[in-house]
Structure 1
Amino acid sequence: MTPFSIALRFAALALLVTFIAVPQLFAQVFEPLTVNGAPAIYNHGNLVSLTLSHLRTVFVATFASVVLAVSLGIFVTRPSGLEFLPLSRTLVNVGQTFPPVAVLAIAVPLVGFGETPTLIALFLYGLLPIFENTLTGLTQVSPLTLDAARGMGMNGRKRLVGVEIPLALPVILAGIRLSLVINLSTATIGSTVAAKGLGEVIIAGLQSNNTAFVVQGGLVVAMLAFFIHDLLSLVERRAAQRIGA
């Protein structure tokens, strides 16, 4: 990245943090989007609290997806787990087969309203890209590299930890990045089942016909997704550089 693009990113990040912390400073910017004297800035909750709740929900669900999807990916690439690959693919595809709204509709009667049904929906929705990228990364490790590791006396566990996972890490991180960014936007629907998050701002705007609220919620989610995508892309590049890819 050029110094200009880096400076631009820092400026955008500073602007986002300022808006979340002190949104009233931007009231004049959003006033043209209001009608009939409606408030220009969301005033039914604290944006800092909603943003932190939104991020917590997304990160917890994604972490759970990473643990299961990576574990499954490792298991089905071992000789003892190859026969379970079709079953594993079927399981991780459940989240993509059923849209998050449908998962919420099923989960609410079972676990009630709040954050839990949203966590379940995001967890299921985030499995597929992580699982498939784990499979891709591990199966693309060169057989010659693995033979060299065996020749050095490394057993299966040491080959996995010391050779396969480090070489597959950039691809696995790409899957995690994709899952995380998707879940950041998908988490907004959690507010329909009383989960705290930035979806509250968007839904409040839709219910009151206040475009300013909708734009505010959408912009914060979009900018968070951009910066998290950017950060994880940087981590991927660093991981790829370490293995000479």
Structure 2
Amino acid sequence: MKLRFPTILRIGILVLLIVFLVRPEWFEPVFRPLTQNNAPVIYNQGSLLTLTLLHLRTVAIATAGATIVAVALAILVTRSFGVEFLPLSRSLVNIGQTFPPVAVLALAVPAVGFGEKPTLIALFLYGLLPIFENSLTGLTTLPPTVTDAARGVGMTGWQRLLKVELPLAMPIILAGIRLSVTINLATATIGSTVAAKTLGEVIIAGLQSNNLSFVLQGGLIVGVLAVLIYDGLSAIESFISRRMGLLQQS
């Protein structure tokens, strides 16, 4: 099967990003017009590749934690014994959206200190809502015929959850995770204001030295990562949907 042009384009963007992270000096002529007074063209206060990997690690840890908690809460409130906790669960997951990440950082620093920890707390709280709401939607909109059939063959509640409900709800849950990751990729940049190692360091260094080249480098890396990861998770979501028979095979 031939690769479609968009797929080739995505691969090309990924390769270009990797080359830039490994050999940023090769791109110096592209960014030179954005500098002045003989300022450095390429970010030179650390490794762009290392910062990118640390940025991704922070987002991955926070998203994993948010996914576990949000899905567990969604499962709880969709069981007969946990329905009454739905309002409380919604209030909890809305905390991250109610308080701006900067405010969460300010509150977290006195408790856990500077570095990655306050950033993880902010991203964790900020990522709960979309995953919880999508998980709730996925688990409450299953075809009744499917769940009735599962009961009819003698499946226990846990068997229905693990073998029927979660697999069928997975595409919708993944859509929430995709949204959460995309939001947190950009939000993680503010972690550098509390000494976390993220790509925000590059942007902040550019703002402090009035170096637009640094700002653009940090912003472009975050933007490209967001697009590629969003696209990759969308492909996984579509694949699972086709496997579950939720979409027509192309």
Q: Residue in 1 aligned with 2:72?
A: 71
Q: Residue in 1 aligned with 2:46?
A: 45
Distance 2:167 2:17 in 1: 34
Distance 1:35 1:65 in 2: 43
Amino acid at match of 1:27: E
Aligned-residue offset at 1:7: 1.1
Q: Residue in 1 aligned with 2:121?
A: 120
The number of aligned residues is 245
Aligned-residue offset at 1:5: 1.3
Pairing 1:1-245 to 2, within 5 Å after superposition? 3-245=4-246
Describe the superposition over 1:94-140 as per-residue Cα deviations: whole angstroms up to 9, x where unpaired: 00000100000000111110000000000000000000000000000
Distance 1:166 1:114 in 2: 37
Distance 1:178 1:243 in 2: 22
Distance 2:152 2:146 in 1: 10
Structure 1: gaps (5+ residues): none
Amino acid at match of 2:52: T
Aligned-residue offset at 1:3: 1.7
Amino acid at match of 2:241: A
Amino acid at match of 1:243: M
Structure 2: gaps (5+ residues): none
- Identity across aligned pairs (percent)? 65
- Tell me the secondary structure at the aligned position of residue 149 of structure 2: helix
Describe the superposition over 1:166-205 as per-residue Cα deviations: whole angstroms up to 9, x where unpaired: 1100000000000001000000000000000100000000
Aligned-residue offset at 1:2: 5.8
- Tell me the secondary structure at the aligned position of residue 59 of structure 2: helix
Distance 1:10 1:149 in 2: 42
Describe the superposition over 1:6-59 as per-residue Cα deviations: whole angstroms up to 9, x where unpaired: 111111111000001110000010000001111110000001110110000000
The runs of at least 4 aligned residues of structure 1 exceeding 6 Å deviation read none
- Tell me the secondary structure at the aligned position of residue 80 of structure 1: coil
Aligned-residue offset at 1:61: 0.4
Distance 1:47 1:55 in 2: 12
Amino acid at match of 1:151: G
Distance 1:48 1:12 in 2: 16
- Tell me the secondary structure at the aligned position of residue 81 of structure 2: helix
Describe the superposition over 1:133-175 as per-residue Cα deviations: whole angstroms up to 9, x where unpaired: 0000000001221111111111101100111001100000000
Q: TM-score, normalised by structure 1?
A: 0.99
Aligned-residue offset at 1:85: 0.2
Distance 1:51 1:144 in 2: 47
Amino acid at match of 2:186: S
Distance 2:226 2:7 in 1: 17
Distance 2:224 2:137 in 1: 29
Q: TM-score, normalised by structure 2?
A: 0.97
